[in-house]
Amino acid sequence: MSSILCAVVLVLFHHWSVKRGKRKLYKAAALPPSAEKALHDKDALDVIIVGAGVAGSALAYTLGKDGRNVFVVERDLSEPDRIVGELLQPGGYLKLVELGLADCVKHIDAQRVFGYALFYEGKSTKLGYPLEGCGVDVAGRSFHNGRFIQRMREKASNLSTVTLQQGTAFALIEEDGIVKGVKYRVGGGQEREVYAPLTVVCDGCFSNLRRTLCTSKPEVPSCFVGLVLEECDLPHKNHGHVVLADPSPILFYPISSTEVRCLVDIPGEKVPSVASGEMANYLRSVVAPQVPEELQKPFLAAIEKGSIRSMPNKSMPAFPVPRPGAILMGDAFNMRHPLTGGGMTVALSDIVLLRNLLRPLRSFHDVSALCEYLEKFYTLRKPVASTINTLAGALYKVFCASPDRAMQEMRQACFDYLSLGSVFSTGPVALLSGLNPRPLSLVAHFFAVAIYGVGRLMLPFPSLNRLWLGTRLIVGAGNIILPIIRAEGVRQMFFPNTVPAYYRAPPSK
Ligand SMILES: Cc1cc2nc3c(=O)[nH]c(=O)nc-3n(C[C@H](O)[C@H](O)[C@H](O)COP(=O)(O)OP(=O)(O)OC[C@H]3O[C@@H](n4cnc5c(N)ncnc54)[C@H](O)[C@@H]3O)c2cc1C
């Protein structure tokens, strides 16, 4: 009798584990009958997510784990091969832990990152992340973006509540100003519709659905040109490297145990043509001589090898989208210059916040009440997101070469300030890494750099010329940071608890 019972339990367990482990990641146009049925039943789904990149797959997993029925439509379910999102700051890693997704950086040859090395005019300084007390596993992680995303997609689709289908969303379905669902095209051009009370648009920096929901447009201050250096050792192992070059910074960081990513910033929206060889010439003649000596040979070898790619670096402050039935997340919602590698940290931090806000709700069907309630999200996210955004924008401007003597002084002051060590480096690095993103601390450090620069100008004695230069330095610093803060929203960034939405309670129904 007991052996029969044992056998039954084993069969049931096997059945359960097969069912549980079965991935619902559909590349084909047709879904299995059960999933098709769920799509036709307008009440079956809780959430539709458009895009399964960093934000979409993390959100799908977290909402699915909370028992929500989630349908994800993703343009391309094969492993992405991109030059974006390859360095996750320790603050972002902590968010990954909170979401239960930390294992997604395992088994992908991800490298631990413990801080940055900064190079300027032949000198270098090392800036470690302030990781004391964070836990043994906590550090930055760098990896192939596609491997990381694929791990998150698999983890999400392993949940019985989540279905991922390959398809391109092209329109939101709206009725009386309420978003009811999404129209998408599957392979062969077949058009389909899917309905849910909440649609989360996570279709990245080139988002075409964003235009339906908000009017904000990204700026493109520069482009990153990406190369992979093979079989080379970085001067500072397990550190990101930032070269303050002319005209703008060059980055290096490991993306696997044998590869180093190099991102060369080129100001403006246009880059030299790769096809005509103009780009290789530019990299050889302008960039290579500024690269640290140890990296010059592999850098030149990477140019010879080809496969030079570029991406626009977009920047767009977040604007609330009070549209019942829809919300934007990830890059579709908010972007900052990728110099500081903050995009994934902001996206994951937003997802933790959204998950916590949605958790007490039994259903999302009261769309108007939900929309009003979610205004709280836009306020709560501000201190963290705005700090990371503002730092990225301001640091990019400070780190670029400038013909203006005052800005040259600011760049030198910034390098020397960070080289002072102790709180002068840990403070700004804690902001950058997302470990302690506090707006007031950001402003304090930024102006401390400017004052430090002015103080040095006054030594050994002030002159009229030096006083004038110092004044221009302070004014220049203000001109860099204040417009970014204004665009982020002063009140929400510094005084979020004075915004009424901050106190909004979840809808009672
Ligand atoms: C050059 C560069 C380097 C960067 N480096 C870093 C870094 O080191 N660290 C960091 O934290 N951040 C970095 N970022 C920013 C980071 O890449 C983004 O913040 C992050 O990828 C945003 O995630 P997301 O999910 O919003 O967008 P994505 O990861 O881009 O995902 C969007 C998804 O939507 C899908 N999609 C698009 N349109 C549709 C559609 N119509 N229908 C269905 N699916 C669709 C896409 O296929 C994609 O899978 C970098 C950005 C750039 C430009």
Mean pLDDT, all residues of the chain = 93
Within a domain: 366? yes
Residue 230 shares a structural domain with residue 299: yes
Residue 503 lies in a domain: no
State the closest ligand 1 atom to the C-alpha of 224, by its place in the atom list counted from 1: 1
Span from the CA of 380 to the centroid of ligand 1 (angstroms): 23
Q: Are residues 125 and 177 in the same domain?
A: no
Query: Residue 30 is encoded by which pair of tokens?
Result: 């047709």
Check residue 71 and give its pLDDT. 97
Shared domain check, 283 and 176: no
Q: Are residues 169 and 195 in the same domain?
A: yes
Question: In which domain, by residue range, is 453 found?
Answer: 384-494
User: Final residue of a domain: which of 294, 315, 336?
Assistant: 315
pLDDT (mean) for 371-400: 97
pLDDT attached to residue 37: 66
> Taking residues 286-310, what's their average pLDDT?
96
What's the CA gap between 194 and 344, in Å, rounded? Answer: 28
Q: Is 365 in the pocket of ligand 1 (CB under 6 A)?
A: no
Q: Is the CB of 265 under 6 A from ligand 1?
A: no
Radius of gyration of the chain (CA): 24
| Shared-domain flag, residues 171 and 52 | yes
Cβ(341) – ligand 1 distance below 6 Å: yes
The verdict on residue 105 lying in a domain is: no
Going by their DSSP bridges, the two strands 162-166 and 25-26 should be labelled as parallel
What region, left, alpha or beta, does residue 209 occupy, with left being phi > 0 and alpha being psi -120 to 50 degrees?
A: alpha
Ligand 1 pocket residue status of 347, Cβ below 6 Å: yes
Report residue 121 as tokens: 């005019």
What is the average pLDDT across 302-317?
Answer: 95
Q: Indicate if 299 and 239 belong to the same structural domain.
A: yes
Atom of ligand 1 nearest to the CA of 89: 11
- Output the pLDDT for position 509: 65
- Residue with the bigger pLDDT between 211 and 317: it is 317
- Residues 366, 467, single domain; the answer is no
Of 75, 116, 348, best ligand 1 pocket probe by most atoms within 8 Å of the beta carbon? 75
| Residue 17 confidence (pLDDT) above 50 | no
173, 259: one domain: no
For residue 86, being part of any structural domain is answered with no
Which amino acid is located at 366 in the chain?
A: D
Which residue in this structure is represented by tokens 């972002």? 92
Q: Which atom, in ligand 1's list, is nearest to the CA of 345?
A: 11
The reported pLDDT for the residue numbered 13 is: 43
Report the nearest-CA residue for atom 4 of ligand 1: 84
Q: Is the pLDDT of residue 3 over 60?
A: no
Nearest CA to ligand 1 atom 38: 203
Q: Whose CA is nearest to atom 9 of ligand 1?
A: 341
C-alpha distances out from residue 194 to 127, 169, 184, 185, Å: 49, 10, 8, 11
The average pLDDT across 101-119 equals 98
Measure CA of the first residue to CA of the last residue in the chain; give whole Å: 49
Q: Assign residue 123 the CATH number of its domain.
A: 3.30.9.100
How far, in whole angstroms, is CA 53 from its chain's centroid?
Answer: 10
Q: Say if residue 320 is in the same domain as residue 179.
A: yes
pLDDT of residue 319: 85
CA of 294 to the centre of ligand 1 (A): 31
202 Cα–ligand 1 center, Å: 9
The CA distance from 397 to 187, in Å, is: 44
Closest residue by Cα to residue 72 from 100, 96, 46: 46
The answer to whether 139 touches 264, Cβ cutoff 8 Å, is no
- Rounded distance from Cα 210 to ligand 1 centre (Å): 14
191 and 69 housed in the same domain: yes
Does residue 242 belong to any structural domain of this protein? yes
Confidence of residue 304 (pLDDT cuts 50, 70, 90): very high
Q: Are residues 355 and 311 in the same domain?
A: no
Among protein residues, the one with the nearest Cα to ligand 1's atom 52 is: 84
**Is-contact 207 58, C-beta < 8 A?**
no
pLDDT of residue 29: 62
Q: Tell whether ligand 1 has an atom less than 6 A from the beta carbon of residue 165.
A: no
Q: Is the pLDDT of residue 63 over 50?
A: yes
* CATH number where 164 lies: 3.50.50.60
Confidence grade of residue 212 (pLDDT, cut at 50, 70, 90): confident
Domain end call among 282, 315, 348 = 315
**Closest protein CA for atom 50 of ligand 1:** 84
**Which of 25-39, 190-204, 417-431 has the weakest average pLDDT?**
25-39
% the chain with pLDDT above 70 = 92
According to the model, what pLDDT value does residue 18 have? 39
Ligand 1 mean position to 274 CA, how many Å?
23
The three-state secondary structure class of 426 is helix
Identify the helix (H) or strand (E) that includes residue 7.
Answer: helix 2-21
237: exposed, middle or buried (C-beta count within 10 Å: 0-12, 13-18, 19+)? exposed
Query: Is the same domain home to 134 and 224?
Result: yes
Q: Flag whether 94 is in a domain.
A: no
**217 vs 162, more confident:** 162
Using most ligand atoms within 8 A of CB, pick from 101, 143, 203 the residue to mutate for ligand 1.
203
Q: Is residue 468 part of a domain?
A: yes
Buried b (16+ CB within 10 A) or exposed e, 252-277: bbbbbeebbbbbbbbbeeebbebeee
The model's pTM is 0.94
Token pair for 346? 């902001």
Q: Is 87 in the pocket of ligand 1 (CB under 6 A)?
A: yes
For range 389-403, the mean pLDDT: 98
Helices (H) then strands (E): counts for the chain: 17, 19
Q: Is the CB of 83 under 6 A from ligand 1?
A: yes
Is 415 a member of any domain?
A: yes
* Phi and psi based region of residue 61 (left: phi greater than 0; alpha: psi -120 to 50; beta: remaining): alpha
Q: How many domains does the chain have?
A: 3
What pLDDT does residue 28 have? 62
- Give the end of a domain, one of 267, 285, 315: 315
In this predicted model, what pLDDT tens digit does every residue of 240-280 receive, in sequence order? 999 999 999 999 999 999 999 999 999 999 999 999 999 99
